[in-house]
Structures are given as structure tokens and as C-alpha cells.
């Protein structure tokens, strides 16, 4: 097994402590990753504690319309007199939830398809890869837009649409990892011991194929958050009542010449979260030693 420890992508369970140290080392060194962890942590906390932290009801309309940032309304109010800070805070819940749920779904489905295709080969591989290639003919975001058009708007539909749009990346990575791993001797060994295909896939192949998948997942969370914001912005998002970042921007767009805060702050929130995730993703890539071209 000793030759397997050279590349952490092939690391085995016995390397876990080593890998942990490596994480710690990379994150201790990397200022950007620290920034990312802190900012993302703050936003996560804000999302969880939104009911307690939010100074106003995010949908409560008042006569105090389009007033700039002040002591009373930290980030100002919108055209209906709603408090912008409260709306952005509540929007964090949707954005983070959609980001994580989408990627979770895309990861499970994509990896499943990729592992099946890579492990069995033959006609299963052909059918799955034909489909994946078909997805290649469309930019991911266009797929998401089209699927939302087909399914209709709403939280679940948006999650499914974005997940399906991003699934091909996971399938392709998982498949290529499986194709490499399949040739390894420890897989032969498992097979000789009479383990079932399912057990070999789940216990032997999957854990060793996870490094690039994890890196891709991190990157995808940031894409998913951007995609959700873009869909909401285009009016194809969750629904018109729930304050999401994209929707707040889209609502505020008509008033930006008089109320700059409506155009600036929601986008700033999106950028900070996505930036943090990208920083963390970059550090993970270093820690797990995944080459950029693999992902």
C-alpha cells in the first residue's frame, strides 16, 4: 500500500491523521482561506440566527421609503419602506441553503452516474456518457434557466434545476477517477475476496475518488449561489415574497439612480459569500493536492 500514499488523492484511511495535519498547515498559512472561513462563518451564523438578529420583519412595509443607511436602518430601506438589512439577512438563509442543497443533490446524482459508468463500462457507460455529452452542448446556466422554465419557479424547482444543470461535472470527474482506480491492485484484491460490486464501489472506490469531487463541490457551491441569484434576478427564482439576494437586487434595480444602497448591498453580500467559498476551495485544492486541470 505504500505507493498509494504518494498522491493524497489515493490516500487510504491510515493516512487520515496525516491529511488532517496537512489541512491545518494549509489553512494556518493561507490568509485568504482564513478570511473565507471567518466571513462564511459569520454569514452562516447570520442565516441561522436571522429570526433573532433581524431588527425588522423583512416584509414589513413602512412609510419610511427609500431612506439611506442610518442608525435606524443600517443599510437603508427600499421603495416599500422595508428594512434592507433584515431582507439581506433573511436572504442569506435561502442563498446558503440553495447552494448546499443543490450541490448535495448534484454530487449524489452525478457521482452515482459517474461511478456506474466508470465501473461497469460497456453500454451503461455509453448511455450515461451520451447524456453527459448532450449536457455539454449547453452552458450550465442556460440549462438551469430552461429547466426552471419547464418546472416552474419555486424553491424546490430551483434547487432541482440547478442541481441537474451541474450534475455533469460530478459525473465526469467521478468516472475518470473510477477508471484510474479500477486498475489498482487493491480493487483486484477486493474482487478476489468475493466482495459485491456495490461494496467495492462504496467502500473501496468512492473514498479514494473523493478528493477532486470535494474540490469540485466547493467550487460548485459558489456557482450554485450565483446561479440562484441570477435566476431570482431574472424573475425565475424562489418566489416573489421570499427575500432572496437576486430578488432584492432586481426589485431595487429601478431605483438605483436615487437609492444606490439598493443596488450595492445585496450584491456585496453575494460577492462576499462567493469570494469566501472560492478562497476556501482554493485552499482545499492545495490541501488535497488536486490539480486545477482535474476539476
Partner 1 sequence: MLAVSTLVFFMIRLVPGDPIAAMLADSGSPEAREALIRRLGLDQPLLVQFWKWFTGVLQGDFGASIYGSNQPVANILMTALPKTLSLAFLSFVIAIVIAVPAGIISATRKNSAADVGVSLFAFLGLSMPDFWLAIILIIIFAANLQWLPAIGYTPLAEGLWPWLSHLILPSIAIGTGFSAIIARMIRSSMLEVLQADYMRTAAAKGLTQHAMLIRHALPNALIPVVTVIGIAFALLISGAVVVENVFSIKGLGRVLIQGIQNRDYPVVQGAVLLVSAFFVLSNLVVDLLYAAIDPRIRYS
Question: Within 13 Å and on the Cβ side, how many CA atoms surround 217?
Answer: 20
In angstroms, the first-to-last Cα distance of the chain is 26
Question: Within 13 Å and on the Cβ side, how many CA atoms surround 109?
Answer: 18
Supply the minimum distance, in Å, between the C-beta of residue 264 and partner 1: 7
Supply the minimum distance, in Å, between the C-beta of residue 170 and partner 1: 16
Supply the minimum distance, in Å, between the C-beta of residue 55 and partner 1: 24
Supply the minimum distance, in Å, between the C-beta of residue 228 and partner 1: 10
Binding mask 7-46 for partner 1 (x = CB under 8 A): -------------------------x--------------
Tell me whether residue 14 or residue 149 sits nearer to partner 1 (CB atom): 149
**Rounded Cα gap, residues 18 and 108, in angstroms:** 27
Q: Where are the alpha helices (DSSP H) in the chain?
A: 16-29, 31-48, 50-53, 84-120, 122-136, 140-151, 155-182, 185-192, 197-199, 206-233, 245-252, 260-288
Within residues 117-176, the interface with partner 1 by CB under 8 A covers 130, 134, 137-142, 145-152
Q: What is the dihedral of CA 30, 208, 216, 231, to 10 degrees?
A: -130
* Interacting residue with partner 1 among 93, 216, 230, 244 (CB under 8 A): 230
Within residues 264-293, the interface with partner 1 by CB under 8 A covers 264, 266-267, 270-271, 274-275, 278-279, 292-293
- Give the cell for residue 234: 431574472
> What are all long-range contacts of 160-165, with beta carbons under 8 Å and residues at least 24 apart?
160/105, 161/231, 162/98, 162/102, 162/106, 162/224, 162/227, 162/228, 162/231, 163/101, 163/102, 163/103, 163/105, 163/106, 163/109, 164/106, 164/109, 165/135, 165/140, 165/141, 165/227
Supply the minimum distance, in Å, between the C-beta of residue 217 and partner 1: 17
Binding mask 194-223 for partner 1 (x = CB under 8 A): ----------------------------x-
Tell me whether residue 155 or residue 210 sits nearer to partner 1 (CB atom): 155
Q: What is the dihedral of CA 106, 108, 113, 116, to 10 degrees?
A: 170
Cell 459525473 appears where? 171
Tell me whether residue 148 or residue 213 sits nearer to partner 1 (CB atom): 148
Supply the minimum distance, in Å, between the C-beta of residue 133 and partner 1: 9
Could you say whether residue 66 binds partner 1 (CB under 8 A)? no
Could you say whether residue 235 binds partner 1 (CB under 8 A)? yes
Which segment (97-105, 107-115, 208-216, 234-242) binds partner 1 by CB under 8 A? 234-242
- Which residues are near partner 1 by CB under 8 A? 32, 130, 134, 137-142, 145-152, 222, 226, 229-230, 233-236, 246, 249, 253, 256-257, 260, 263-264, 266-267, 270-271, 274-275, 278-279, 292-293
Amino acid at each position: 500500500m505504500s505507493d498509494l500514499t504518494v498522491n493524497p488523492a489515493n490516500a487510504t484511511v491510515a493516512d487520515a491523521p496525516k491529511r488532517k495535519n496537512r489541512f491545518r498547515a494549509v489553512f494556518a498559512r493561507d490568509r485568504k482561506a482564513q478570511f473565507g472561513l471567518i466571513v462564511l462563518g459569520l454569514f452562516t451564523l447570520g442565516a441561522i440566527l436571522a429570526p433573532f438578529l433581524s431588527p425588522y420583519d423583512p416584509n414589513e412595509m413602512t412609510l419610511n421609503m427609500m431612506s439611506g443607511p442610518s442608525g435606524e436602518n443600517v443599510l437603508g430601506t427600499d421603495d416599500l419602506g422595508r428594512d434592507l438589512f433584515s431582507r439581506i439577512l433573511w436572504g442569506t438563509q435561502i442563498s446558503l441553503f440553495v447552494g448546499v442543497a443543490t450541490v448535495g443533490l448534484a454530487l449524489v446524482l452525478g457521482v452515482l452516474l459517474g461511478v456506474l459508468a466508470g465501473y461497469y463500462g460497456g453500454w451503461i457507460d455509453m448511455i450515461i456518457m451520451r447524456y453527459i455529452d448532450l449536457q455539454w452542448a449547453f452552458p450550465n446556466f442556460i440549462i438551469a434557466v430552461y429547466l426552471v422554465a419547464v418546472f416552474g419557479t419555486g424553491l424546490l424547482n430551483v434547487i432541482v434545476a440547478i442541481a441537474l444543470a451541474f450534475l455533469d461535472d460530478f459525473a465526469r470527474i467521478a468516472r475518470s477517477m473510477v477508471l484510474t482506480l479500477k486498475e489498482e491492485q487493491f480493487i483486484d484484491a477486493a474482487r478476489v475476496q468475493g466482495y459485491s460490486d456495490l461494496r467495492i464501489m462504496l467502500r473501496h472506490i468512492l473514498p479514494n475518488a473523493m478528493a477532486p469531487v470535494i474540490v469540485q463541490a466547493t467550487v460548485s457551491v459558489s456557482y450554485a449561489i450565483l446561479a440562484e441569484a441570477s435566476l431570482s434576478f431574472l424573475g425565475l427564482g424562489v418566489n416573489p415574497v421570499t427575500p432572496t439576494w437576486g430578488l432584492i437586487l432586481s426589485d431595487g434595480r429601478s431605483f438605483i439612480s436615487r437609492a444606490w444602497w439598493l443596488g450595492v448591498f445585496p450584491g456585496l453580500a453575494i460577492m462576499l459569500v462567493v469570494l469566501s467559498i472560492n478562497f476556501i476551495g482554493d485552499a482545499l485544492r492545495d490541501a488535497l493536492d488536486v490539480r486545477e486541470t482535474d476539476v
